[in-house]
Structure 1
Amino acid sequence: MMMLCLRKLGGIEQQIQFNRTLQRLLSMSFPAPDLAVTASEIERITTLINDLPFPHQPLQPILEVRMSSHSLSNPLVEEVLGRLFAAHSNGLKALEFFHYSAKHLPEGPSADAFEKTLHILTRMRYFSQAWDLMEHVKVTHPSLLTLKSMSILLSRIAKFQSYEETLQAFDKMEKSVFVGRKFGTEEFNVLLRAFCTQRMMKEARAVFNNLYSRFSPDIKSANILLLGFKESGDITAVELFYHEMVRRGFKPNPVTYDIRIDAYCKKGCLGDALRLFEEMEKLGNFKPTIKTITTLIHGAGVAQNPRKAWDLFDSILSRNMKPDVGAYNSLISSMVKCRDAKAALHLMKEMEEKQIEPDNVTYHTVFLGLIRLKGIESVCDLYSEMIEKNFVPKTRTVVMLMKFFCVNRRIDMGMSLWEYITGKGQCPHSHALDLLVTGLCSRGRLLEAFDCSKQMMERGRQMSELAYRMLFGSLYQAGELEKLKLLDGMVNKLVNVLPPSKGHARGMLNQDVD
């Protein structure tokens, strides 16, 4: 009976809310920006795109009204698409923005913009749209079809589809998309990398062995496979394949040594890594880079050897190199692993003093150290500093902080983080929403949980089944029937337009439930 009553509730509230949002977007004052790409302009456009209700309204008409085509530039488009990617924005919105920019840019879109659009589409499994975009670009801007764009699509197909479908996609690219291009070793390496990045080493070896005679692999091919074994965490497989590649006639290069050193460092085998490092230096023509030293610093942290980490860091200057953000991040990580959060914070301050901007890895690592060692107040202090600097953390940092705040009963900080991220035009990941909805519902703050869920779905991202069922049950117990109907309606609309994904909400009111 309850379900029947809910079904009779019209979509009036949803339509009213949509009209209000659309009216707000159309009435907002957006001054024509300077040609220079500014952070505020990037944020403005990103927010405009993300705030548009999905899938009710096409994006391009809003862009035509609220953006000046004269203000468009490839750097601006690339930055906005980068923000949309980092924000886990809906892929179809990104595609519309790409087509809008392609239509108005006299020089046409850049390869970077095209590749970012492909990234966003394929991450959400919009493979049909990704192929259509490839076909479209083949006709309009064939120069955008690069090895990187090929790699993006193949890697996602390898992740979400079968081995056979990945090979079919490679064949389709050769015969239908990259027409006129003779596929050789470079394209073969892209196919290898597609499997290796997904740690599908059995499939990668099959490709290597089956297509070896056709494509004549080079040292880069061998290094891609070696890297795949390293990322799989199997040192034995790394060394076995290393000796195999030497037997096949491949000559190791500095990249080969870096991969092997990293494999040992990640397992805490610092002595073996240093032995390879010394061997590398004795070869003369294999000069270690700052990346090599950075890897060893990280390895010293894994091995719980802070003194060696500092010695390696200090050796950077003695080798006439300059510490970069990666070197600092590795040393900070080592200090955190050695339970010295104070040193990690000091290093972060030192970076700023030396005009080396902390990046997301820096913040994530220091937050991790404070969470483990210092407690809630230290985390809140760094969080406040981050907000003051207008730094927007990436997904894994947002999820980590949201979990920490909610577990420590600081739901106010969780809401602050949510509002900050969404205010920056971001669309938080569903994992962050799961944590926030759980925290809010457990404290009886149902309307806030509903508003956050609604906000994410209006931006074109689906709730998880876990968060949906929790919120559904809480609203039902509270007698919030209208909101229950609205919630279920939004979920079902996204079910119809988003590619199916494991763990996403499917709706309940259309099911046979008493």
Structure 2
Amino acid sequence: MLFLGRCNQLVQATTQQLTLLLDVSFRFYSSDLEFDIKKITKIINDHPFPDKPIHPTLAQVIPSVAISSSFVENILGRLFATHCNGVKAYEFFKFSLQFPQFSPTSDAVEKTLHILTRMRHFTKAWDLIDEIHKTHPSLISLKSMSIMLSRIAKFRSFEETLEAFEKLEDKLPDGKLFGTDEFNLLLRAFCTQRKMKEAKSVFNRLYSRFSPTTKTMNILLLGFKEAGDVTSVELFYHEMIRRGFKPDVVTYNIRIDCYCKKGRFLDGLRLLEEMEQVNCFPTLKTITTLIHGAGIAKNTNKARQIFDELPKRKLLPDSGAYNALMTAYIRSGDVKAATRLMDEMEENNLLHDTVTFHTMFLGLMKSNGIDGVLELYNKMIDRNFVPKTPTVLMLMSFFCKKRKLDEAFGFWNYLIESGYCPHSHAMDVLLKSLCSHGREEQAFECSVQILEKGRQLSNNSFRVLERHLSKTNDDDKLMKLNQMIKKLQTALPASKGHAIGISDSNQDHAASM
């Protein structure tokens, strides 16, 4: 009966996938090529990896006439947002190159690189750059180089980052030489990772080869700001002046942000006055930063005043400005005022973005508790909105902490059905809660879903499952997970924190049961 039940599940799954494939194909042919990006993305995300090649499936659901630059860019953008397995995204990009009418764009290359390097698959990322260099060298843009350098600086050593910088120089189109722009990318790669020792070393080593600009100095200033060192920011700012560089609006924005984040809001206002005196007019970003600063200082009256003065400065508030003011209200505990701002955004035709929802959820968790969170959560789901990873993790942790496991599991299913592959931290939280409340079957189901999408389990999640499945004598499930993990290890780069499966001794024991 177990065998028949499993067969029935496989038939149902196959039928559902076939129905989805036929539905998408029908839409392509019957709707004048008004394709459904979401469904195509879901097919790619759900495709079993690495069990089956993905190209035949893509050829089945995507007619050749549908392949265009905007189509490929949209699919890749959504694959990035849903945390797709990078290899499948790369395969989709290569699939699109087969069609003579398709002209790849730098945006498509950049998005593919983003997806590959985020999962630390640098071998495939370099393969992509090598291929594009041979066929479309002009598409190797500053942004694509920045993506490579920033990820390598984050995950690899200082020496490897410099080697990558030199390697990228050979990938430039003929006749183009490395200049200040490329030098700035290398500095930014270290500065955004708060590796100021490395950034200063690179600056001193390559200063004579390149000609630094105000932008170069702003990148270093930003690095000191990200490190949270106000003194270093001011010291480097004065060094910048001594070297003859004229501060611009970006320079002032960095300094204002540094003061505001340290709670020194009045110093930020002083800098605003200073920049206006030298005819360096503030931008919307400048004012938004000050609204944030007023919120950190818990001066909501000043935050609202600055916000209301935007029209006088001939600036229109965007979602970022509203989110800044909303954060100020949440910090002071005024959830009602923050809620009114959400309504005001709708009245002004401004969409609630992931920051809006994250800010409101944070405030509701501290004040209204589960009821307020569930009300906003249902509103978000009704709009088919999928938040970004920090909000997903926050909601999953909140539901599990409040023992609302039905909501947590339902949220998981909503993400999966939306074509989203949840972050491993969110999965760690959910699996631990499910297992601790005797819901190992659901925990196992979630794990299989992730592995089938080509994403590895974290070591923490696997160990929790291993412990609970062993207690319930579900050795078959444990062996299945182990086999799927081992198979993925042959196709994906090794990464610290990923599950490595059960040990050989445990395997022998489980097999003998």
Same fold (TM over 0.5): yes
1:79 to 55, 74, 85: 74
Q: How much is the aligned-residue C-alpha RMSD, in angstroms?
A: 2.0
Question: Hey, what's the Cα distance between the residues in 2 that align with 1:463 and 1:400?
Answer: 19
The within-5 A match list for 1:147-226 is 147-176=142-171, 178-226=173-221
2:140, 2:171 within 8 Å by CA — same for their partners in 1?
Answer: no
2:191, 2:199 within 8 Å by CA — same for their partners in 1?
Answer: yes
2:493 to 484, 493, 499: 499
2:27, 2:33 within 8 Å by CA — same for their partners in 1?
Answer: no
- One-letter amino acid matched to 1:210: R
Count of residue pairs brought into register by the alignment: 501
Residue of structure 2 equivalent to 1:364: 358
- One-letter amino acid matched to 1:295: T
Question: Hey, what's the Cα distance between the residues in 2 that align with 1:454 and 1:12?
Answer: 20
**2:277 is the counterpart of 1:282:** yes
3-state DSSP class of the match of 2:208? helix
Residue of structure 1 equivalent to 2:396: 402
- One-letter amino acid matched to 1:167: L
Question: Hey, what's the Cα distance between the residues in 2 that align with 1:55 and 1:13?
Answer: 25
Residue of structure 2 equivalent to 1:68: 63
Greater RCO (Cα-Cα under 8 Å, separation 6 or more)? 1
1:92 to 75, 87, 95: 87
Residue of structure 2 equivalent to 1:488: 482
1:264, 1:273 within 8 Å by CA — same for their partners in 2?
Answer: yes
Residue of structure 1 equivalent to 2:450: 456
Using the TM superposition, give the Cα deviation of residue 455 of structure 1 relative to its aligned residue in structure 2, in angstroms.
0.1
1:18, 1:53 within 8 Å by CA — same for their partners in 2?
Answer: no
- CA change 1:448–1:321 in 2 (3 A) is same
Residue of structure 2 equivalent to 1:477: 471
- One-letter amino acid matched to 2:340: H
Question: Hey, what's the Cα distance between the residues in 2 that align with 1:289 and 1:478?
Answer: 61
- CA change 1:280–1:511 in 2 (3 A) is farther
Using the TM superposition, give the Cα deviation of residue 57 of structure 1 relative to its aligned residue in structure 2, in angstroms.
1.0
Residue of structure 1 equivalent to 2:427: 433
3-state DSSP class of the match of 2:160? helix
Q: Which runs of 5+ in 2 are unaligned?
A: none
- One-letter amino acid matched to 1:366: M
1:343 to 317, 333, 337: 337
- One-letter amino acid matched to 2:381: I
- One-letter amino acid matched to 2:17: L
Question: Hey, what's the Cα distance between the residues in 2 that align with 1:461 and 1:17?
Answer: 22
1:332, 1:365 within 8 Å by CA — same for their partners in 2?
Answer: yes
- One-letter amino acid matched to 1:447: E
Question: Hey, what's the Cα distance between the residues in 2 that align with 1:74 and 1:377?
Answer: 45
Q: Which shifted more, 82-91 or 354-363?
A: 82-91
- CA change 1:500–1:13 in 2 (3 A) is farther
- One-letter amino acid matched to 2:283: T
- CA change 1:13–1:227 in 2 (3 A) is farther
Using the TM superposition, give the Cα deviation of residue 72 of structure 1 relative to its aligned residue in structure 2, in angstroms.
2.6
Percent of aligned positions that are identical = 53
* Residue-by-residue CA offset, 1:348-407 (whole Å, 9 max, x unaligned): 111011100111111111111111222001000000000111111111111110000000
Residue of structure 2 equivalent to 1:299: 293
2:300, 2:329 within 8 Å by CA — same for their partners in 1?
Answer: yes
- CA change 1:14–1:506 in 2 (3 A) is farther
Using the TM superposition, give the Cα deviation of residue 105 of structure 1 relative to its aligned residue in structure 2, in angstroms.
6.2
Q: Which shifted more, 13-22 or 292-301?
A: 13-22
1:427, 1:456 within 8 Å by CA — same for their partners in 2?
Answer: yes
Q: Which shifted more, 29-38 or 345-354?
A: 29-38
Question: Normalised by the size of structure 1, how large is the TM-score?
Answer: 0.94
The within-5 A match list for 1:110-121 is 110-121=105-116
- CA change 1:18–1:245 in 2 (3 A) is farther
Question: Hey, what's the Cα distance between the residues in 2 that align with 1:50 and 1:485?
Answer: 24
- CA change 1:15–1:238 in 2 (3 A) is farther
**2:308 is the counterpart of 1:314:** yes
- CA change 1:36–1:342 in 2 (3 A) is farther
